[in-house]
Amino acid sequence: MIFDVFNGDADGILSLLQLRKANPQDSKLITGVKRDISLLKKVSLDQASHVNVLDISMEKNALALTELLEKEIPVFYADHHRSGDIPASSLLQAHIDPHPNTCTALIIDNILSGEYHLWAIAAAFGDNLNARAFQLAKERGLSEVQAQLLQELGVLINYNGYGASVADLHYDPAELFCLLMAYDSPFDVIDDDSSPFNVLKSAYSDDITRARSEKPQHNSDILMVTELPNSAWARRVSGVFGNMLANESPNKAHAVLTKNLDGDTYTVSLRAPLNNKQGAGDICASFATGGGRAAAAGINALPANELTKFIEAVEEAYTS
């Protein structure tokens, strides 16, 4: 059995979409909310004949990857997060590029020689690689309006991935992948009044309006921290709201906090300054449940009594 293991955000979904449009195959889908990245351990070692892994950190899945390779199960792995040590195995086909201006969908786009380029551009927008995505759209000959539509689609797919559990989301990411596979082009999704695009557009507007009403609890020249309430809408919007703030104030870092259900910890979405896209992954990885990439990272359960330490770490990292 083939297993497709992928992040539930825009980058993960649209990476797999490209692969499966290029090579349609029946497979077992394993995904979850954006922060559910320890996905490889869910693959059945007894059932798997081949595993494709997209947009989840190799470093966070190292043990499960080793077990697959020891069982002589071939693995295709594409990602742009911290990898740790990449196993030396003829069974592993690894395409890892942690550069802050790329994403997994662009890695797949390169492998497929741009066969499904429009989907890759939408994914880049979803990962907040706006400058790179607009440049790719221009090179493709798209109008500014068309590029903005791909941006909106990417943001909406990404927005759907945030939540404490799939119950917080509007679509299970596996379901959303299957729905999007039915369309030949991202513009077909946008043009269809009954598509996920229009459902998510309305929900996103409501959630962003609520987030806009929250005042920052810390705001300096280096960092702005905004805490959102412990509710499903806040968990859904935390990541895309952080991206929005980063675009509006590109010279400072931004952190969006949501209280977890235990009441004692925060989920943290950290965005490095857009004009200095480095360090976010290292900062978050220094906390027990943190990780990510240079430009964008997070912490799944930051103890409330470590919030000051987190703010100090961010301020120190980006003080020139």
User: Would you list the domain boundaries of the chain?
Assistant: 2-200, 215-317
pLDDT, tens digit, for every residue of 5-21?
Answer: 999 999 999 999 999 99
Q: Is the pLDDT of residue 211 over 90?
A: yes
- The mean per-residue pLDDT over the stretch 240-244 comes to 91
Distance CA 241, CA 280 (A): 16
Straight-line distance from the first to the last Cα atom of the chain, in angstroms, rounded to the nearest whole number? 52
pLDDT the model gives residue 320: 73
For residue 198, pLDDT over 90 is answered with yes
Give pLDDT, residue 99: 93
Tokens of 145: 């309006």
One-letter amino acid for residue 203 of the chain: A
Compute the distance between CA of residue 156 and CA of residue 160 in angstroms, rounded to an integer.
Answer: 6
**Do 268 and 290 contact (CB within 8 A), yes or no?**
yes
Is 3 a residue whose pLDDT tops 80? yes
Domain spanning 215-317: CATH 3.10.310.30: yes
Model confidence over 49-86: pLDDT tens digits?
999 999 999 999 999 999 999 999 999 999 999 899 99
Class of domain 2-200: alpha beta
With a CB cutoff of 8 Å and minimum separation 6, the contacts of 153 are 122, 125, 126, 186, 189, 190, 197
Tokens at residue 165, please?
Answer: 């559990």
Give dist(CA 108, CA 115) in Å, integer. 10
Report which secondary-structure segment, H or E, holds 252. Answer: none
Per-residue tokens: 41 = 């351990």
State residue 114's pLDDT score: 97
Amino acid at site 271: R
Burial label for 107, CB within 10 Å (0-12, 13-18, 19+), is: buried
Q: Measuring CA to CA, how many Å separate 85 from each of 41, 43, 95, 288?
A: 18, 21, 13, 19
Predicted TM-score (pTM) of this structure: 0.88
Rounded distance between C-alpha atoms, residue 142 and residue 87, angstroms: 40
238, pLDDT greater than 90: no
The residue count of the chain comes to 320
**Residue range 250-283, pLDDT digits in tens:** 999 999 999 898 889 999 999 999 999 999 999 9
Distance CA 278, CA 51 (A): 31
Tell me what pLDDT residue 45 has. Answer: 96
